[in-house]
Structure 1
Amino acid sequence: MTGQSSEMAATARLVLVTGPSGSGRSTALKALEDLGFEAIDNMPSSLVPRLVRATLERPLALGLDIRNRDFSVDALLSLVEMLAALPDASFDLLYLDCSEDALVRRFSETRRRHPMRPDLPPAEGVALETRLLAAVRSRADMLIDTSALSPHDLRAEMVQRFAPEGRATMGVQVESFSYKRGIPRGADMVFDCRFLNNPHWQPELRRFDGRDPKVAEFIMQDTRFEPYFTKLHALVESILPEFAAQDKPLVLVALGCTGGQHRSVAMAEKLANRLARGPWRVSKRHRELERKAGMDHPANG
């Protein structure tokens, strides 16, 4: 890596991830994405120079392997040298290594064909690809042997190498939803807002959603709102460090009401804004508002 300031490394960090098929590139890229990188997989190498010459607003991770339609070892090595020479970026070539036996076992367990030799047993494709990538492996700035690593182990290794002080800042997504459409898949915590006063029954508020100040004020005037929010916030804040200790990359906190337009939206907005004061990377999503964009008659909130 180049000896640049921490600010430059944070805003112009480039990581190129490669290695043999089945070595864990997708897992590594997902881990980098969870660490705040913009991750792009299987982008044609001929387009990469144009991409990186643009202003990089956040760290960028690129995944390239033999499945790229314009892949060649010479082209990849030339690209590596070009990226390493960029004056305003810190660049690393990460090579995910893996023993041939482990790769063959993974292909056999998943019953996948090897992309280099789909007409032959996986062992032949694995051997051919290993020989082909030898020159790339020797050029790598970082090498991680994934032969004995589970996806969880690989992710932990990525966190150790790429997160500040060896730990990622966990993401927290606060999402509003309608119980009519079901609880969001993968929700870690679910809270019900249906007992609060419903703006749907106020004709002057019905067509707005919980982000509107008038709607939010109506909901928060319910005497049950503030005690509920205080306890909910305290509970979430007490649990998040436990998720972080388990290296969980993202926690989904879901808040529901009847139609997902008013009460859950207002509660999600306030909770997300409060959690954002802490150490977490907080995002928010209003599932039903996204689904109903453009519809004339929003559902009962």
Structure 2
Amino acid sequence: MIVSGLSGSGKSVALKTFEDLDYYCSDNLPVELLPDFVRSRLRGNPLGDQRLAVGIDVRSRSDLTQLAQWRQSAQEYGIEARLLFFEASDEALIKRYADTRRRHPLSHLGLALPEAITRERQLTEPLRDQADAIIDTSALNVHQLRRRVVTEFALGSHDRLSLLFESFAYKRGVPAEADFVFDARVLPNPHWDPELRPLTGRDAGVREYLDNEADVQRYSAQIVDLLDTWLPRLRNDTRSYVTIAFGCTGGKHRSVYMAERLAQHARTQGWPEVATFHREQD
């Protein structure tokens, strides 16, 4: 997976999302080093099933037009190299730079921010023209962008059905994309333990607390039985992924714990693509 686009458009968020899904990632890689990078990774993985995500943009100051030739060569060797191009409106990019107070990568040319953005659009046009997907992030927040990367590209790029286990807070609404929704508010709440309150469902203390509750074990067992029975029936469906969502009051303890627990169970059952997304945490 090649991640490119405009500075401030969300490329770093996308790469971090791929990394969280066990892609081997490298950012700011010069185009001329891409062949050697891929060869070195495949040499250490002769089965060729390692997933890579590489960030390429104007920071490397390399000839971006070389990428098309490399992708053609890679395809001849059976390597699928998809190019995702992230962009946003000038107004959105200027606001993001104002909020973060970071310098634009082309500021060394003595350009004001609007001119630097315009120049970057010109320099990255060869990449945009050959992109497999163009993602406009102008109206997306970080959580929405992460979810889109997970569902449309990280999981949606496979022919086999993939599973996404999501946690959320009911006070912010149920995810519209969820196929299964389970209410974890019926479980004991670690929030009322002062030592566990600042933690999340991914932390050992919260996991141990909930693991030792009989109601949690029964709740989990019943959901496992339901999903193990019916999820396999969806393998012949046309969708590329199924979302199983768990909600609690704040989206911090119980829902996160359940999403992680059921995702781990799905992996042990042999599902090839399993991911988690914690809406209030990621």
TM-score, L = length of structure 2: 0.57
Counterpart Cα distance in 2 of 1:34 and 1:142: 21
Aligned to 1:63: 55
> What does the per-residue CA deviation read over 1:254-295, in whole Å, with 9 as the maximum and x for residues that have no partner?
xxxxxxxxxxxxxxxxx998675456959xxxxxxxxxxxxx
Structure 1 ranges of 4+ moved more than 6 A: 182-185, 271-275
Q: Which moved more, 1:39-48 or 1:159-168?
A: 159-168
- Kindly provide the amino acid, as one letter, of the partner of residue 245 in structure 2: E
Q: How far did residue 241 of structure 1 move?
A: 4.5
In 2 relative to 1, CA 166–36 (structure 1 residues): closer, same or farther, beyond 3 Å?
A: farther
User: Which position in structure 1 is the counterpart of 2:8?
Assistant: 22
Q: What TM-score comes out, normalization by structure 1 length?
A: 0.54
Are 1:242 and 2:234 an aligned pair?
no
Distance in 1 separating the partners of 2:130 and 2:263: 44
**Is contact 1:34–1:171 with CA below 8 Å preserved after alignment?**
no
Residue 99 of structure 2 aligns with an amino acid whose one-letter code is: E
Query: What is the match of residue 41 of structure 1?
Result: 27
- AA in 2 matched with 1:148: A
| Paired residues for 1:99-118 under 5 Å | 99-118=89-108
Once the two structures are TM-superposed, the CA of residue 64 in structure 1 deviates from its matched residue by: 1.0
Listed as ranges, the gaps of 5+ residues in structure 1 are 1-14, 173-181, 194-224, 254-270, 283-301
Aligned partner of 1:187 among 175, 184, 200:
200
1:18-167 paired onto structure 2 within 5 Å: 18-53=4-39, 54=42, 55=46, 56-68=48-60, 71-83=62-74, 85-118=75-108, 119-162=110-153, 163-164=155-156
Distance 1:244 1:125, change over 3 A: farther
Contact 1:159 1:168 in 2 (8 A): no
Query: More relative contact order in 1 or in 2 (CA 8 Å, sep 6+)?
Result: 2
The alpha carbon displacement at 1:152 in A equals 1.8
Measured in 2, the distance between the counterparts of 1:32 and 1:275 equals 20
CA shift for structure 1 position 18: 0.3
Q: Quote the sequence identity (%).
A: 30
The number of aligned residues is 206
Higher Rg? 1
Per-residue deviation, 1:157: 2.1
In structure 2, relative to structure 1, the CA distance for the partners of 1:281 and 1:121 (3 Å cut) is same
Amino acid at match of 1:187: T
Q: Would you say the 8 A contact 1:160–1:166 is kept in 2? A: no
Cα deviation for residue 185 of structure 1 reads 7.7
Q: CA RMSD for the aligned pairs?
A: 4.1
- The structure-2 alpha-carbon separation of the partners of 1:131 and 1:170, relative to structure 1 and needing over 3 Å to count, comes to same
